[in-house]
């Protein structure tokens, strides 16, 4: 396959490009310098000569709190950008795979969200990603939309590495214990995306590492596996007010993904173990 990847310099892009190469696919990664996703003509200029089979759209404005103060930019990048990626794919005969988020849900659920549950975003970030989902569905029938959550991995700032870096200073850490989700390693998600492209069945899928936990659970597990002696304290979301509302519950059901691909992503604990052992988290 020939695969064009937007947002290639991001954390997930840095995991997906080598995964594509290892699987024998030809990949072209572009970032904002090569192709601004808010401009359809810029995407078309790189897509048409490359003639991809897939356009994998990873580019996004993911600074959740900044989205609250910059809503126009959030909708331009996350909404129009996704539409442009789908249009560019359609224009050169390619399928499109677009990444979305658990933030499209309101977080008031009590069981894992399924793909057909009603979206009700409570933040600008979530609303802009939901706008991007709808745009992709509207303009290109050969689409795969993948919702994921709580990403960590090499190549970018993430919760696991931030916690480990702070823990190594010896300072006590207060971590919220009333938000629940599924931590997801970018390398594992990249493998999941490959499985979905191989399956080539249009639709919306949830794809995360297996299992669920709170941010406190994740911090405690990562610190313990890294062998760092520090004090962790439980706290709640109300004690850390932020501009954007966080979903209290954002566990996603992977049932559709697993049924279509025959693949199950490893547990989040296994993913953290591998990330810590890799040494990436030490840097």
The predicted model scores a pTM of: 0.96
* pLDDT value of position 99: 98
- CB atoms near residue 71 (< 10 Å): 13
**Mean pLDDT score, 78-86:** 98
Strand, helix or coil at 62?
A: coil
**What is the rounded end-to-end Cα distance, in angstroms, of the chain?**
34
Q: Is the pLDDT of residue 283 over 90?
A: no
Q: What is the band of 280 on the pLDDT scale with cuts at 50, 70, 90?
A: low
Q: What is the band of 171 on the pLDDT scale with cuts at 50, 70, 90?
A: confident
Percent of the chain with pLDDT over 90: 96
Q: Are 222 and 163 in contact (CB under 8 A)?
A: yes
Residues 95-132 have pLDDT tens digits of 999 999 999 999 999 999 999 999 999 999 999 999 99
Q: Is the pLDDT of residue 92 over 70?
A: yes
- Domain spans of the chain? 2-156+183-210+250-266
**Mean pLDDT score, 36-44:** 97
Active-site hit among 103, 125, 205, 249:
125
Does residue 221 carry a catalytic annotation? no
CATH number of 2-156+183-210+250-266: 3.40.50.720
Residues 202-244 have pLDDT tens digits of 999 999 999 999 999 999 999 999 999 999 999 999 998 999 9
Q: What is the band of 281 on the pLDDT scale with cuts at 50, 70, 90?
A: low
Q: How far apart are CA 268 and CA 150, in angstroms?
A: 10
Q: Are 189 and 265 in contact (CB under 8 A)?
A: yes
């Amino acid at each position: 396959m020939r695969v064009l990847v937007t947002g290639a310099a991001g954390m997930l892009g840095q995991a997906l490009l080598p995964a594509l190469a290892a699987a024998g696919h030809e990949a072209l990664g572009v970032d904002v310098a090569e192709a601004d996703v808010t401009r359809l003509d810029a995407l078309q200029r790189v897509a048409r000569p490359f003639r991809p089979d897939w356009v994998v759209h990873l580019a996004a404005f993911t600074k959740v709190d900044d989205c609250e103060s910059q809503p126009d930019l959030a909708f331009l990048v996350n909404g129009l950008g996704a539409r442009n990626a789908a249009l560019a794919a359609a224009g050169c005969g390619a399928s499109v795979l677009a990444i979305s988020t658990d933030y499209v849900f309101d977080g008031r659920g009590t069981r894992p969200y399924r793909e057909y549950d009603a979206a009700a975003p409570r933040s600008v970030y979530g609303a802009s990603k939901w706008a991007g989902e709808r745009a992709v569905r509207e303009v290109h029938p050969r689409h795969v939309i993948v919702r994921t959550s709580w990403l960590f991995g090499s190549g970018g700032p993430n919760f696991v590495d931030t916690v480990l870096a702070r823990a190594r200073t010896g300072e006590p850490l207060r971590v919220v214990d009333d938000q629940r989700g599924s931590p997801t390693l970018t390398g594992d998600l990249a493998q999941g995306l490959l499985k979905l492209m191989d399956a080539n069945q249009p639709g919306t899928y949830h794809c995360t590492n297996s299992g669920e936990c709170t941010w406190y659970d994740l911090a405690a597990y990562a610190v313990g596996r890294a062998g760092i002696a520090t004090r962790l304290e439980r706290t709640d979301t109300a004690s850390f007010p932020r501009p954007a509302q966080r979903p209290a519950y954002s566990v996603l059901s992977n049932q559709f993904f697993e049924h279509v691909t025959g693949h199950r992503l490893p547990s989040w604990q296994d993913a953290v173990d591998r990330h810590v052992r890799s040494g990436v988290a030490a840097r």
